[in-house]
Chain A
Amino acid sequence: MRAKLRLLRLLRLLRLLRLLRRKSMPYAALLPMALIVLVGYLGTVLWSLKVSMSSSRTFPAHDFVGLTQYARLFGNERWLQSLENLALYGVLFIVACLVIGFLLAVFIDQKVAGEGVLRTVFLYPYAMSFVATGLVWQWLLNPGNGIQQAVRLWGYADFEFDWIVDQDKVMYTIVIATVWQASGLVMAILLAGLRGIDEEIWKAARIDGIPTWRVYLSIVLPMLGPSVGTAFVLLFTAVVKLFDSVVAMTQGGPGIASEVPAKFIMDHLFGRANIALASAGSIMLLLTVTILVAPFMYARSRAAHRKASQ
């Protein structure tokens, strides 16, 4: 009798354990994600924030110096030059990619022959690494052997195209190389958007006698809003990340003419051993991203909610 009771109790305990195990499985499976989110993402950002308010140089110091590093950062000529470069680069790069990508998408959308080949050609640079394409453009743009020399050999002896060694124009060469690499991406995204537009709109526009270019500009482009937004976010994150191309093309030179924030941070983390200043720079970068991307994300989630509630 007693043995039977004990067995029953044991069985109940086992059942409870099994239930617990089943309930806890999803939690166990999400453990790696939780760890990475809490330590890898949240933790590291807070850590950098803390370091940026310390006086750490080569080794972490655990003091608190308030915003001193930020004041130092904005008194640093190299940092200011980096910011200015990034702003100029960002505007030119994003606008050029969007315009060229849109034009390519619209022209491809005209039921042209060889569409598949053209799309492959416009997008292949995006499959390569920024280092590789940077090195190719460095080769193309070097005045001694590149395009300048070639045009001179064709008989235009005064031809000049030495932007990559010109302090005032070197940023434009980085714009050219990266636009070449990324505008195919915009083309792919916008083309997908164009294909999703209702044919009825074209019919209606034809009946009203509106010229094609007008339809694209006034009707189709606004309808592509979400696709353009997606492309913008992708391009914007590429702007903030800008590092590989600069390292491959100019190493920040001539002088400091093509320095960018990401490179400033890396140099101060590893080469110049000033981790507090570097961390302050990285927090500024994060702040910029937050300010520029947050409104967009907000608008997007609002739109998603509205769609869901309809």
Chain B
Amino acid sequence: MNATVTRARRNTRLDPARIGIYAFLVSAAAFFLLPLYIMLVTSVKPMDEIRLGNIFALPLSFTMEPWQTAWSSACTGVDCEGIRGGFWNSLAIVAPSTVLSILIGALNGYALSFWRARGAGLLFGILMMGAFIPVQVMIYPLVQILAALHLFSSLPGIILIHVIFGMPVMTLLFRNYYASIPEELFKAARIDGGGFFRIFLQLMLPMSTPIIIVAAIMQVTGIWNDYILGLVFAGRENLPMTVQLNNVINTTTGVRLYNVNMAATILTSLVPLSIYLVSGRWFVRGIAAGAVKG
């Protein structure tokens, strides 16, 4: 306690070292905020101003038109429907993928922590190594497998893919969480005659709220931000927002509408950014928990 006090005292004086610390932090913060600022200002400027003006300058004439265009009429190739379709597609992919991968992850974690199933430890070990396999190794065989199951280029197909790629972290998250729950609690439930699923549904799941929140934050942001899996597996009808965003910006022919592009970029980032801002420490907890991979 004493050490904290002396350390605090030493640090709160406004000496040159202190000024240096703030100078460093403030300039670093400015660097980190710069792209966000540029995105915001660019998205509300008319094109003339962008062509002639300075990228850092504040808008002279403010317009929300680029946002409208980005949402509902920006073109990818011949379609000019904006990226709103991608928004709904992403939502349709993210919601079931998140729920399913959390449920299976929790079930795995529970079975691994409390029930001694033969061979489960080995499976878990392989799964953990699986987290490090570059997706490119798995993509072609997975395309073939999904095609054989008639799931390729479909919503259920991309959901299954997200469940597969989310499984290592989800399982690890719940396994570690359940490992911290006293074994006695489980034994008591067994003595009271609880079966496998009854203990899971009525005892373990209700106790798992904190880790479910962490897992949901991880999965929602991770799947929303996914590009490569959506590109390969979702199919034309279900392309997620990130893929549509890239299509709008990188495949347009003719004049590039930078203001529309930046508005579309912000729109695409809005969901994960709001989750980040609202969840704060939970988000960091997810990173820390996911980082104990292996």
Q: Contact residues of A with B, CB < 8 Å?
A: 22, 25-27, 29-30, 32-34, 36-37, 39-45, 47-48, 51, 60, 103-104, 107-108, 110-112, 116, 118, 120-133, 135-140, 145-147, 149-150, 153-154, 180, 184-185, 188-189, 192, 199-200, 202-203, 206, 230-231, 233-234, 237, 240-241, 243-244, 247-248, 251, 261-262, 265-266, 269-270, 275, 278-279, 281-283, 285-286, 289-290, 293, 297, 300-301
B2 to chain A, nearest CB (A): 7
Q: Which of B63-71, B178-186, B207-215, B245-253 contacts A (4 or more CB under 8 A)?
A: B245-253
Q: Contact residues of B with A, CB < 8 Å?
A: 2-4, 6-8, 11-12, 21-22, 24-25, 28-29, 31-36, 38-39, 42, 50-51, 53-56, 104, 107-108, 110-112, 115-117, 120, 123, 126-127, 130, 132-142, 144-145, 163-164, 167, 171, 195-197, 200, 221, 224-228, 232, 242, 245-246, 249-250, 258, 261-262, 265, 268-269, 272-273, 275-277, 280, 283-284, 287-288, 291-294
CB atoms of B134 and A137 under 8 A apart: no
CB atoms of B22 and A112 under 8 A apart: yes
CB atoms of A139 and B142 under 8 A apart: no
A-B contact pairs, 28 of them (CB 8 A): A30-B111, A30-B112, A30-B123, A32-B108, A40-B138, A51-B141, A104-B28, A116-B280, A123-B276, A123-B283, A129-B225, A131-B242, A139-B261, A139-B262, A140-B38, A145-B50, A145-B258, A153-B53, A206-B3, A237-B132, A240-B134, A261-B136, A269-B140, A281-B136, A283-B137, A286-B133, A289-B134, A301-B294
Closest 5 CB pairs of A and B: A129-B225, A25-B196, A127-B276, A26-B115, A44-B141
A111 to chain B, nearest CB (A): 5
* Complex Cα–Cα for A297 and B32 (A): 33
CB atoms of B265 and A136 under 8 A apart: yes
Question: With a CB–CB cut-off of 8 A, which chain A residues contact B108?
Answer: 29-30, 32-33
Question: With a CB–CB cut-off of 8 A, which chain A residues contact B258?
Answer: 139, 145
Out of B54, B224, B250, B288, which one reaches A192, CB within 8 Å?
Answer: B288
Chain B residue at smallest Cβ distance from A237: B132
